[in-house]
Amino acid sequence: MKSKYMAISQAAEYLHVGVSTLRRWEREGKIKPYRTEGNERRYTKEMLDNVLVGKRPVSKRNTELVIGYCRVSSSHQKEDLERQKTVVQAYCERQGAPFRIISDVGSGLNYQKKGLQKLIHLICTNQCSEIVVNYKDRLVRFGFELIEEMCKEHDVKITVINQTQDEEANEELVDDVLSVITVFSAKLYGKRSHKNEKI
């Protein structure tokens, strides 16, 4: 089956214009292509036809993609990660909308995880309609409200499948709290050492 999405060269050919013209129209706000994970532009026939009749793109999410996000703290929890994926995938399949699963291995306190960064990018660029997680703390350990507010700004729904407490997550919480204490202790010790050196 032929894809309904066109690359920029195909779109330019369809409109009988140059690729540079399409890029200029995007800067001017006349057209708003979708973006792939590799940041490549994608166009639909409807989008291009609207340009021909002078319609500006509607300021709305450009896809109904659902993102299932799964996370564990360490590599020895891979079985749990697979269980999360199974649950989240089954939920997304029941909804019937197109979906993608993004997974991470890392602490809930680490906001630099590759998968989380990708998720935030999809939210901020209006490339998804819903985020699905098995447990609330699978998204982030602290600061869930910030992600929630970001989603509200971009009209993205957050669905938490399981509202009960995950026992394994309790163990992770202890590890995360110990990590925070270790970091603060190290900083405090460093300040004291520096002060003692001055004395």
Beta-strand pair 34-35/41-44: antiparallel
- What is the token pair recorded at 133? 């997680």
List b or e across 31-40, with b for residues whose CB sees 16 or more CB atoms inside 10 angstroms. bbbbbeeeee
- What is the token pair recorded at 177? 């709290």
Sequence-distant (6+) residues with CB within 8 A of 176 are 73, 107, 108, 109, 141
Backbone angles phi, psi at 71, to 5 degrees: -150, 145
Phi-psi region of 41 (alpha: psi -120 to 50; beta: other; left: phi over 0): beta
For helices 45-52 and 8-15, the axis angle rounded to 10 degrees is 40
**Of these residues, 73, 103, 107, 129, which one is catalytic?**
73
Reply yes or no on whether 20 is catalytic.
no
Handedness of CA 93, 60, 32, 69 (dihedral sign): negative
Write out the catalytic residue numbers.
73
